[in-house]
Chains A and B, each alone.
Chain A
Amino acid sequence: MQEDLATKVMHHPFQCIAGLEQGDRQFLLAACGVELLAYSIAGRKVASKWCSGITDSVAETVNSHANYSNERPAKKQKIDNKTTSPPSKIISIRSSPDQCHVVVVTDDKVIYVLNVSPNGAFTEISQRAMPKRPCAVRILPDSSTILIGDKFGDVYSLPLIVSKSKDQSAQAEAQEVERTAEPAIFKPSATPLTVHTKRNLRALESQKKQKIVTPRKEPLAFEHRLLLGHVSMLTDMIHATREVDGKTRRYILTADRDEHIRVSRGPPQSHVIEGYCLGHTDFVSKICLIPGSDLLVSGGGNDWLGVWDWPRCELLAKVDLRKAISHLPSSVDEKIAVSGMWTVPVAAQTDRWALCVACEKLPALVFIDCSALGDGSPADTAVTVFKTGEAPVLDVTYYGAKAGCTLLALDDRRFDGCRVRAVQVNGTVDDGETGSKLTISEVDTLGEPLLQLSASTGTVEDNTALDSFLYTTANLRKRGGWDDENEA
């Protein structure tokens, strides 16, 4: 597909999309490279654009936060208030439940919070640099706290709105520490008594003679709290609530590369583990809650998706993903890596949902009727595969819960290709003879202007670099087989 267009310019796909509704105005938020667009669906035009990394008058003061927060200042930001950080690609966008804010995460580990006006205009209100690359961001239902899971395995909570006074005192503290303390002389924790071999004893003595200076490590200069940590690399994180005895209980569910799905209590008791959903034999990359139920669906490197009763950590069923996609030519020998899972509404039916599953680099989406989950393995008829031509699916969102319009962001880099497609999920009801079925149909609500949008923003210089930016899930598979002798 792309070989014969070598002479034509490649266009950057929309790597993340999200929906936002302000009153009766619906917007499609789409990230294209380093830019974020707000596209008004009714008005059929781009309402505003935002680009990462730019310093404006609001960001001037917060940029210095980022400088203090970065552990490795040499890379992009100098310890110098005047330098702006270069634009960095967006890796995640989330709209807040109250639909007034958008949280944007970029490749350089910075969390931006943007305010969205009823007209769709963006105003950047904060930038915070995290110590490690975030892999999952959620905004709590009260729209005031953000949960961030990072690759290192930690989950943090941050306030959505940066409180100026609190952060200023945190920043002042950090500055104070920086100014008054001398760089610490390294003092070994080991003593001659704790060292047990001759060679180590010699090393310890030479350490004492040297004057090694530990570079000062700046603490994060904004309000944050560490909630829990996995030893393994975290891949996904979601927040859940349940009603028990009339009270709301909050939970955090985390998935990691070592096949674990952990169910922990929500803040402030996140150190209490309620249970583990164990059963996967390969990395777990995505977990998804099914609305209106106690079901959790998980996917990763296995050929199957797990359907769990998550409060009881019980595996109820496995959905054979391999079977569902086996007729697609591109999938036959490839190992599965689930790259996305979303629940989208079934058109014109309240409280009926479809689970939508994307596998990395596969030009198709698997739709599963959620009402068929939880009673053992879903019947074949409950699983529908929708092909997207030759373009893999990057992200899925929906707007208008009743009308049920689902939007798919596709990796189509042709200049006349379609990067956002609108479909509708229709569900037939089980009439006793044929089971309930889902059909996916193309919808034309967005029309020409969106296709034009697809064609205009952002170009691609390096296809391979873009591939390694977009497609990282398969890398989670462990190579293993390291010989301990070699390692020691």
Chain B
Amino acid sequence: MGGPPNKKQKREEHRNEAKAEGELPKKKFYRQRAHANPFSDHALTYPASPSQMDWTPHYPSFVATKSEVKPESDAADEATTPRLDRQLEIADIGCGFGGLLFALAPKYPDSLILGLEIRTSVTEYVEQKILAMRAQAKNPSVQPNITKLGPLDEDTKPPKSELNEDTKPPPTNPDPSPTAVSPSQVPGSYTNISVLRANTMKFLPNLFPPTSLSKIFLCFPDPHFKTRKHKARIVSPGLVSEYAYVMKPGGVAYTITDVEDLHLWMCSAFRGSGGLFEEVPGDVWEEREGEDGLDGGGKGMGEAWEAEVREDVRIMREETEEGKKVTRNGGQKFVGVWRRVADPPWP
């Protein structure tokens, strides 16, 4: 008999015990050192190609019915790989503890959003939390951790297709999980988000078919200050080519960091991509006074698009764990917004 359980024991117990349905995981038991070496050969599993990836365990609400399955060119994969009824569209590369995912979920309930994270325990945390949030949405009575709610609605899921500019979540509070809104009122009920443990630097082309993503978020990436570590940065001239490859023309890549040096590096990588990305200027994505989504004065891409970009930037700034930490410390946030344009013509 030792004494009281030590840290490691408590951590394992919390992670392994069967949780009550809808019980949220506690972050303190999932912490892992922030730096993982992306060049190592982790014991990762990844598909040999995108068509061999089975996403159905991640998004069980979106499994294709027989009639929805489109004929694929690769017959062998078609026969064995279960299909979803739509492609993944939004990726959060380096999603950490999932703040952005949970904020984006109700905004885009018809789009599949994937968080990618290389650290094992952090991925586990997000997995557990997604399951908990989904369970809460199905059964509102199971909500032990939520204290800030008003009277609950009946257990009816709102139609997935509705997304008004008006139904924004209430103002943010210091608590990281969006508990101020009853999960059953959340469009999509978090069925459209999931997380995958992956080394994005190496295996992005294995996961996503070309021109499939409409949004990529790169939030507060590891700065890797030393020159010899610059190659490990998640945005680099070589990787910008890969991001362009998996993105649709017209899709948008968002970057944010509090390290100015890194911001300048990322900007020069996107700018120097030989015309694959076009910079979306600050006056388009900066927050506007009295914004309710229908401001005039947009240029080029259409007002609705610009309003969407502004909202994405606001979420990225305010809803990630890192973003909130930076606000608390009084730091600066540097934002970059890049629109994927079509490939240049052959010479």
Contacts and interface: CB of A to CB of B under 8 A. Distances in A.
Interface of A: 152-154, 188-191, 193-194, 196, 217, 226, 228-232, 244, 247, 249, 258-260, 262, 264-265, 268-269, 271-273, 275-276, 278-281, 314, 478-485, 487-488
B128 interface: no
Nearest to B201: A231
A193 B331 contact: yes
A133 to B, nearest CB: 16
Interface in B300-345: 325-326, 329-332, 343-344
Contact of B41 (A191, A217, A281, A482): A482
Interface stretch (B28-36, B153-161, B174-182): B28-36
B343 A272 contact: yes
Given A229-B237, A275-B210, A189 B262 contact: yes
B244 A484 contact: no
Contact of B48 (A189, A190, A280): A280
A382 B78 CA distance: 30
Closest A-B pairs by Cβ, 7 of them: A229-B238, A193-B331, A189-B261, A278-B49, A488-B33, A478-B41, A273-B245
B119 A484 contact: yes
A269 B223 CA distance: 28
B238 A190 contact: no
A271 B241 contact: yes
B6 to A, nearest CB: 16
B227 A189 contact: no
Contacts of A487: 36-37, 40, 42
A481 B223 contact: no
A483 B346 contact: no
B contacts with A: majority SS: loop
B205 interface: yes
B225 A188 contact: yes
30 contacts: A152-B231, A188-B225, A189-B260, A189-B261, A190-B259, A194-B223, A194-B259, A231-B231, A258-B202, A259-B48, A260-B205, A271-B237, A271-B241, A272-B241, A272-B244, A272-B343, A273-B241, A273-B242, A273-B244, A278-B205, A279-B49, A479-B41, A481-B43, A482-B40, A482-B41, A483-B43, A484-B32, A484-B119, A488-B32, A488-B36
B48 A193 contact: no
A265 B346 contact: yes
A480 B41 contact: yes
Given A247-B346, A269-B274, A273-B241, A189 B259 contact: yes
Contacts of A480: 41-43
Contact of B344 (A152, A153, A259, A269): A269
A481 B37 CA distance: 14
Contacts of A231: 38-39, 201-202, 231, 238-239
Contacts of A280: 48
A251 to B, nearest CB: 11
B43 A196 contact: no
Interface string B28-68: 00001101111111110000111000000000000000000
A272 B274 contact: yes
A275 B205 CA distance: 9
B274 A193 contact: no
A482 B42 contact: yes
Contacts of B201: 231
Interface string B112-150: 000000011100000000000000000000000000000
Nearest to B204: A231
A196 B347 CA distance: 48
B236 interface: yes
A359 B136 CA distance: 57
B332 A193 contact: yes
A484 B36 contact: yes
B212 interface: no
A265 B274 CA distance: 12
A228 B119 contact: no
A229 B120 CA distance: 27
A152 to B, nearest CB: 8
A217 B227 contact: yes
Contacts of B38: 231
